[in-house]
Every structure is written in C-alpha cells, then in structure tokens.
Chain A
Amino acid sequence: MTTNEPLLKVENLKQYFRINRKYTVKAVNGVSFEIYPGETYGLVGESGSGKTTIGRSIIRLYDPTAGKITFDGMDISGKMDKPTFQKLHCNMQMIFQDPMASLNPRKKVEQIIAQGIDINKMYSSPAQRKEMVVKMLEEVGLDPDHATRYPHQFSGGQRQRIGIARALIMNPKLVIADECISALDVSIQAQVVNLMKDIQDKTHCAYLFIAHDLSMVKYISDRIGVLHLGHMVETGSREEIFDNPIHPYTKSLLSAIPSPNPRMEKRRKYMTYDYYESGIDYEAGTEHNVGGTHMVLATDEEFEKWTK
C-alpha cells in the first residue's frame, strides 16, 4: 500500500481563526498526514480538537493559514485556478454530520443528488441524468420512486443515504465523512457503515473518516490519526494504535471507550488526562517513529519515558 503515491498529502497544515485583534483561535496547529488511494483514514479526538476543521480545510471550505495540501498531484492549499478548483470539487466530496440540516428542504431528492452533475455538466441528455440518479439511489439502497420526494419525508438513516448518494454520484477519489454516523441509531449506524464499505469495494474511493466513536473508527479504518488541541499526537495503522498506544492522550481516549460487556465495564477505570497538568508541551514535541508507520508527537525525554 505504501509503495504507490499518496492521494492526499497534508503537510504542516495550520488553520487559525482570528476572533479579534488580541485573540486568535489556533484550531489546527501543524498537522501532517497522508491518505493513499482506496484506504480509509480515521481521524479521532474530542470535540474542539480540530477534526472537523481539518476536513473542511482540505476541501477548501476554509482557506488554510499555512501549510501545503497536495491532492492527486495538484497543490490545493493556495490560490487555485479555475480548472484546479473544478477538478478538486469533482474528485473530493463530503458527507456531513447532520442529515437533517445538510439537505435543502425545498429541493426534491433528484435535484439534490443531481446538483453536482448539473453544475459540472456530466451528462449529455436528461434521460442520462435520470438514469444516473436512479442508479445512485439503487446503489445506496433507496427506491427509484424516492427521487420525487422531499427530504422531510425520509427517516434519519435514509437521509444519510441521500447524503452519501449526493457525494458519490461525482465518482470521487476521496470522500470526507464528517461524523456521518454520530447522529444515527446503533442499528442504522451499522447499515450505513456497511454501505460505505460496499461502495469502497466497488469504486475504490478513499475515505477520510472523522468520528469520536472509537469502536466504529477501529472497525472501518485502515490507519488512524489521533488529534488533540489541534496537534496530531499519534498516528499509525489500526493495529499499531490500538495494540500499542504510546501517547498518554491516546491511552486515555482508548480507556474511555464503553464496551458492551457489563462485567468488564463496571470494573473499568477511566484514565484521566489533563494537558495543562501533564506538563506535556505539544509545541515542543517532534514526531518520533515508533516502528512502521507509527508516529508519536513527543520530545526526546518524553518519548523515552513512554516507550520504556
């Protein structure tokens, strides 16, 4: 997998938001990672750690403050010319968190799904447009008759399927799934995750899967990055992160996963981690390689202490 070129390469991405003259929120502060074609990269971290901001900076809903993003050989971090912009929007798509709020209530499902191909004129006749929409609906497990309905006539799980159909009709190479299952019921979550996996098998698209539910992230991701306060504290393959967590924040995050096993769960102790009391300074840390693709952010002394 590592032999071929990365599809997306993020180097030292910074995203600041200036609130006023004195105060700037550093939402993302020097994050680097790579996504390879056809793989799923999971981003985890608590709220406020900058997961969503990274997703939105990559797809250029924000203008990154600093850093370089390379997607499919194109530099997409600075000012882009029109063809680059268009190529970016055709090849990178996003599934949003809240299926209730992310669909236009005044448009029919057909219009919502076809919007991307309408704008980019990806069909030659109205019949072909219809055919593409119907095919997409069937692929995500909805009925072709649903095309003439409005979003409010669907349940949460169905609406998330519409969101997925809208993203996938462009045949993207990378889909950014921003907490796309957090708002759904457990049994519906499983359906949506299965659907996303099936589609990946068929089209070999890559996913950037942003979530805070670690058991789901472990299930779907090939590689995982752990974020905290805008810093990537640890990254590596699924096995590396779950079997051998190094960073205390990752350890505390893993200890917080509720397990559906009552006898174990009642005895489990949650490991607390407080950045301000721990004495760890993310700014001072550099990336250390633990082995393979497993990287951890630490100073030299910290690294020695944690890996002992």
Chain B
Amino acid sequence: MAREKIMEVRDLSISFKTTSGILNAIRGVDMDLYRGETVAIVGESGSGKSVTAKAMMGILASNAIVNSGSVKFTYDNKGVSKTVDILKMKKSDIRREINGQHIAMVFQDPMTSLDPTMTIGKQITESMIWHYKTPKKEAEEKAIELLSLVGITEPEKRIKNYPHQLSGGMRQRVVIAIAMACDPDLLICDEPTTALDVTIQARILELIKDIQYKKNISVIYITHDLGVVAKVADYVDVMYAGKLVEKGTIDEIFYEPHHPYTWGLLSAMPDLDTRDERLYTIPGSPPNMMKPIPGDAFAPRNQYALNIDNRLDPPMFKLTDTHYAATWLLDERAPKFDMPPEIAARIARMKKEENHDDQ
C-alpha cells in the first residue's frame, strides 16, 4: 500500500524574542509523517520538541519569529485533497479550518487543560458544533459515544460532570475524547502520560493506539520517556538543541543507535536489569540557545567529539533509507571507534531478552 504523506516539515527555523535577546529554539528541522503511522520526538527539556509541535499546529506564542521553512499539511477538504503551508496561513484561517478539525492536540497536564467552569459534555461537543454545525442533540450523542470509546463507564451520567469531579486518569481520557471529537487526521500528544502514574499510563497509551488503529490517524508523540517510545512509536526523531540529531525506525534507534547523544539517552534510563552501581549520565548541561553555536551543539558534552565538531556542524549522514544521524563519527575520514561498552552490553541484553521471550 502506498504511504500517504500528510505532513512535510522542511528546514524549519524558529526564534523567540525575549527580554534578554533572541533565542534560537529550532535550527533547521526536517520531518515527514505518513497516514496511520506514529512518530515519537524525544529529547531533553528545552530541545525544541514542543515548539516543533506547536509550529505544526500554528499555535506558536506571539513572540515567536519564523525565520525560514515550511510546514506542508495535506488534508481531505470535502472530498478534495488539499495541501496548505501552515506557516503562511492566517491565524484565523488556521483556527477555522485546521485546529481541532484536522489536527488535534492532547496536552501534558489534564489538570489545567480543561475548563473548570464547563461540563465535560459541553467541552467535547463545543468543537463539533463550531466546526461542523452539528445539531446539539446529535453532538451530545456523539460525545457519549466518544466517552465510551475512551473507556469511561456510564458516559450518560459523566457527561454532566465537571472536571474536578474526575480523577487524573479520567481527565486525560476526557482530553483525548475532546481531541477525537472532530475525527482529526493528525493527533499530537505532548507528554500525554507524564502527569499520570504507570498503571494509568499503560492504559492511556493502549487507548490511543487502539483509537489510532480504528480510525487510521497519524500520531506524533512528544516525550522524554523512552519506555513510552518503545511501546508506541514506529519512527523516532531524536532532538537536541533545536536540531534533529538522529532519526530512524524504532528498531534502528534502539538496537543500532549511532549518535553519542542517543547512546546517552538510552543508557541514562535504568532498565529492570541495570545492576551497575551508578547510572550513566550525560555530562554537562544543554547549551545556551541565546548565543550562536559554532559547530556541533553536542560537542562540549560529547566524549567522542572530534576536532571538526568544534568548527563545523555535521550534516545528516545516511545509514539506511530510513536511518540518519548527524555526527562526524560517521564520516569516512573519521577514526574507527566502537560503541561504548555499557550501551553495547545493554543492546546485547535486550536482544537476548527478546530471544528468551520467544522460546
């Protein structure tokens, strides 16, 4: 089956005007997304994950400056396929045609993203009535259907509840129901489970996966939890300091990582078999994005950095058709090196675990 591209981000660069100067949050990001697939964007806080997602939805803060780039979104407009550049659209047009209707977002904190003065039924039907002029009765029926889809028992009664009457996990389900109300083509989940605990996290992730499968929509996850990524993603984009440093399929990123930053991220999270006395940490802290960064932004924290890293930013080296990494270590002139032993041992262990599981 031919893959249908629904989102194409090219050379995206965004800055923010702040009191202490210009902050370069995104410095050239390319990304593709196809229908029915899941992409996870991982990185530390401040790496520009959320800004990228907001740019895709056209909801950047008012002090943002788009330096260059395009976000091409293809959607079905009354039976005709239509492609628009979200960055060039007027805010009111985005509001009317895209947000909620074709791209919907699930926010991090279910405690603050719901309106405390409206019943949840009203919040779910709001976008249907606004976008499709659905009669109120019909919208309410659909809201009940959605609530049972996200696994809320007795939806007929719940629809009259206010957000404070629900628990954290229930509220996040309501947020997902709101996002699904207009049958979007693309769902962006910004740290959907960070505020929830593990048992509820597992249920919410399975729920999103289930809905994705039923409605054939694309999902972008923004997270720093690699356990979540492992569970849901088809493709992974690793971001650092406003740039993609490595992208590939989930297997390529977890079993054959090539960028030193990805190594660091993978080994910083203890798996259940970590027996070492100390956890691996990435030394140092992220760079100050107010200043121009010469060369590779990760070089000061990278123990494998080469001389050239301090002068020139590495391009994306192609490893396979789907796997790219931006590190000079992949250049043919670079000295030969091996993956750090900890991470190699860990990957071996993961592969062994898997074989063990097969038996």
Q: Is the CB of B227 within 8 A of A264?
A: no
A187 contact from B196, B264, B277, Cβ within 8 A: B264
Q: Is A258 an interface residue (CB 8 A)?
A: yes
Inter-chain contact A267/B357, CB cutoff 8 Å: yes
Is A185 engaged at the interface, CB distance under 8 Å to the other chain?
Answer: yes
A253 touches B44 (CB 8 A): no
Q: Which residue of B lies closest to A49 (CB)?
A: B197
B225 touches A258 (CB 8 A): yes
Query: Residues of B contacting A83 with CB < 8 Å?
Result: none
Interface class of chain A by DSSP? helix
Which of B230, B274, B278 lies in contact with A261, CB distance below 8 A?
Answer: B230
- In the bound complex, CA of A273 to CA of B202 (Å): 12
Residues in chain A near residue B167, CB distance under 8 A: 47-48
Chain A contact-residue range equals 35 or more
Complex: chain B residue closest to A253, CB-CB = B199
Residues of chain B from 227 to 272 with CB closer than 8 A to chain A in the complex = 227-231, 233, 250-251, 254, 264-266, 268-272
Which residue of B254, B272, B354 is within 8 Å of A218 (Cβ)?
Answer: B272
Specify which chain A residues have a CB less than 8 angstroms from the CB of B119 in the assembled complex.
none
Whether A186 touches B206, Cβ cut-off 8 Å, given contacts A194-B279, A261-B230, is no
Q: Is B226 an interface residue (CB 8 A)?
A: yes
Query: Contact at B278–A264, with CB atoms within 8 Å?
Result: no
A186-B203 contact, Cβ under 8 Å, with A213-B198, A242-B272: no
Give the distance to chain B from A123, nearest Cβ to Cβ, in Å: 32
Chain A residues 186 to 224 lying within 8 A of chain B, measured CB to CB, are 186-191, 193-194, 197, 212-216, 218-219
Contact B357 A191 (CB under 8 A): no
A267 to B277, CA, bound (A): 30
- Which of B182-190, B213-221, B280-288 lies at the interface with chain A? B280-288
**Distance of A241 Cα from B356 Cα, bound (Å):** 22
**Which of A156, A256, A266, A273 is close to B45, meaning CB atoms less than 8 Å apart?**
A156
- Whether the Cβ atoms of A265 and B230 lie closer than 8 Å is yes
When the two chains form their complex, are residues A265 and B265 in contact, meaning their CB atoms are under 8 A apart?
Answer: no
Check B227 against A260 for contact (C-beta < 8 Å).
yes
A286 at the interface (CB under 8 A from B): no
Q: Tell me the chain B residues, 315-334 only, with Cβ under 8 Å from chain A.
A: none
Q: Which residues of chain B are within 8 angstroms of A291 by Cβ–Cβ distance? A: none
- Known contacts A156-B45, A197-B278: A260-B230 contact under CB 8 Å: yes
CB distance from A127 to the nearest CB of B (A): 32
As a 0/1 sequence over residues 214 to 256 of chain A, the CB contacts with chain B under 8 angstroms (1 = contact) are 1110110000000000000000000000100000000011011
Given A218-B272, A262-B254, A270 contacting B354 (CB threshold 8 A) = no
Contact call B198/A260, Cβ cutoff below 8 A: no
A47–B110 alpha-carbon span in the complex (Å) = 14
- The smallest beta-carbon distance between A228 and chain B, in angstroms, is 10
Instruction: Note all chain B residues with C-beta closer than 8 A to A214.
Output: 198
User: How far is A47 from B357 in the complex, measured between Cα atoms in Å?
Assistant: 31
B278-A257 in contact (CB<8A): no
Q: Which residues of A contact B198 (CB under 8 A)?
A: 46, 212-214, 253, 256-258
**Which residues of B are in contact with A by a Cβ distance under 8 Å?**
44-45, 167-168, 196-203, 206, 224-231, 233, 250-251, 254, 264-266, 268-272, 274, 277-282, 285, 350, 353-354, 357
Write the residues of chain A forming the contact surface with B, with a CB cutoff of 8 angstroms.
Answer: 46-48, 155-157, 185-191, 193-194, 197, 212-216, 218-219, 242, 252-253, 255-268, 270, 273
Ranked nearest first, the 9 interchain pairs of A and B with the lowest CB-CB distance are: A258-B227, A190-B279, A265-B230, A212-B197, A262-B230, A260-B226, A256-B202, A219-B270, A190-B268
Beyond contacts A157-B285, A253-B199: 20 other A-B pairs, Cβ-Cβ < 8 A, are A46-B199, A186-B226, A187-B265, A190-B270, A212-B197, A252-B199, A256-B202, A257-B198, A258-B225, A258-B228, A259-B227, A260-B229, A260-B266, A261-B230, A262-B230, A262-B250, A263-B354, A264-B230, A265-B230, A270-B202
What are 15 pairs between A and B in contact, CB < 8 Å?
Answer: A46-B197, A47-B167, A156-B45, A185-B44, A186-B224, A186-B225, A187-B44, A191-B281, A193-B279, A212-B198, A219-B279, A260-B227, A260-B229, A263-B350, A264-B357
